[in-house]
Amino acid sequence: MNVLFLSLMQYNSVAEHDIYTDLLREFIRKGHNVYILSPTESSEEVIEESNSTIYRVPTGKIEKTSFLQKGINTILIEFRFKAAIKKHLSQVHFDLVLYPTPPITFVGAVKYVKERDGAKTYLMLKDIFPQNAVDIGIISHHGVKGLIYQFFCRKERQLYEVSDYIGCMSEANASYILKKHPELKPEQVGICPNCIEIVDKSVDEEARKRIRRKYGIPEDSTVFVYGGNLGKPQGIPFLIECLKNQRENSNLFFLVVGDGTEYPLLEAYYKTANQRNFKLMQRLPKEDFDTLVGACDVGMLFLDHRFTIPNFPSRLLSYMQAKLPVLACTDPNTDVGKTIMEGGFGWWCESDSTAGFKKAVGQIMHSDLEKMGNAAMEYLCQHFSVQCGYQSIVQALNKP
């Protein structure tokens, strides 16, 4: 089977580790040929590897740029990707087109390959846009921003329309999509979880101490770590309130590693508060971060309380493969907290309640973290492996 994967991620090799390349390697292991279209700000490039080829398509800046420039270049992606398919892949007959959200602007490229080759199309729904942007106030239903909202709503409907199957991250995710889009058939919508090629990232006690010394983290504290994007979706003001609430608790230590639009807000607090049990670090390379997580005790997830859509952060998997239990602070609409608690590897509180956060921290300090960390790894292997993701997609394709 020839598989075309469209992505906004910038890839140099299919050997890189993230939720998409890990899954694509599983397709390759099963004997399929994988072709990847990936953006670049610079010149066009073709990278050939065993059973896979990456086409780096010039798209202009879509990261770390102005909202206007990012919006324009995101809209133009479908035309640029379609042109690249015509130029480089006119002789390849595709059986399957895989594409995640974000963005929702792959429609033209997906439709072209579907009509040209009769390919099956499979959307991996990782981001429900534009409603998520409305929830946190980036766009609105009214005025100029309302026009932007309407434009992207049309793109969203077109993307779902061109998709033979939609793989959602969780049951709540799938239920939301079916309720909001009654034109979709239930058999079109299934579960395709965030998944990784599982590697045990836990560390022994000697390595744990060495890593903590390297990064200036107390060796005898219970360390709560958050890593990843620090933007509006994470509800950084609530995170800051939680830190303030725990500033006198000398038995624990909070470590935050990442970057994003709200990083300056957190940095300002870090510099002025002089909080001894809190350390802020900018984003680390993935391997360094995964090693650091293994030396911590509890992973944290944060989502803005205003979300009406059920997000399911992929960061969860990084904690689980390091055998860390997880504290999720989220809106009430996502089922990530339910998953964590039913799986026996964590705690949940709503992300507008510092009292709830304090209560969860108290429970954590009296819990068997090693036992819960082992439960996290067990749940990861059973539900979030690339084998699970691959089977979800193949089973959808084999439906009558």
Over residues 105-116, the pLDDT tens digits come to 889 999 999 999
Of 168, 137, 156, the closest CA to residue 304 belongs to: 137
Of 8, 5, 19, 7, the closest CA to residue 286 belongs to: 19
pTM across the whole model: 0.92
Q: Given CA atoms 228, 233, 234, 239 in this order, what sign does their dihedral have? A: positive
**Residue 365: pLDDT over 90:** yes
**Residue 66: pLDDT over 70:** no
Of 304, 300, 310, 309, the closest CA to residue 340 belongs to: 300
Mean pLDDT of the chain: 93
Rounded mean pLDDT, 152-178 = 95
pLDDT of 265-289, one tens digit each? 999 999 999 999 999 999 999 889 9
Q: Which residue has the tokens 């580790």?
A: 17
**Pure H helices in the chain:** 19-29, 67-88, 107-117, 131-135, 143-162, 171-180, 205-215, 236-245, 263-273, 286-294, 315-321, 336-342, 354-364, 369-383, 386-397
pLDDT of 243-259, one tens digit each? 999 998 989 999 999 99
* Cα 167 from Cα 392, distance rounded (Å): 8
**Pure H helices in 30-142:** 67-88, 107-117, 131-135
pLDDT of 95-105, one tens digit each? 999 999 987 88
Vertex 375, ends 195 and 326: CA angle to 5°?
70
* Cα 358 from Cα 350, distance rounded (Å): 11
Vertex 356, ends 350 and 361: CA angle to 5°?
115
The two three-digit tokens of residue 309, written as one number: 């859509």
pLDDT band for 300, please (50, 70, 90 cuts).
very high
pLDDT at position 77 = 85
**Residue 340: pLDDT over 90:** yes
pLDDT of 194-246, one tens digit each? 999 999 999 999 999 999 999 999 999 999 999 999 999 999 999 999 999 99
**Residue 68: pLDDT over 70:** no
Give the max Cα distance, the chain: 65
pLDDT at position 59 = 83
Backbone angles phi, psi at 364, to 5 degrees: -60, -40
Half-sphere exposure of 208 (CA within 13 A, CB side): 16
pLDDT at position 67 = 63
pLDDT of 31-51, one tens digit each? 999 999 999 888 889 999 988
Domains, the chain, ranges and CATH?
Answer: 2-197+385-397 (3.40.50.2000), 205-383 (3.40.50.2000)
pLDDT band for 63, please (50, 70, 90 cuts).
low
pLDDT at position 330 = 97
Rounded mean pLDDT, 354-376 = 97
Q: Any idea which of 25-29, 134-138, 174-178, 183-187 has the lowest mean pLDDT?
A: 134-138
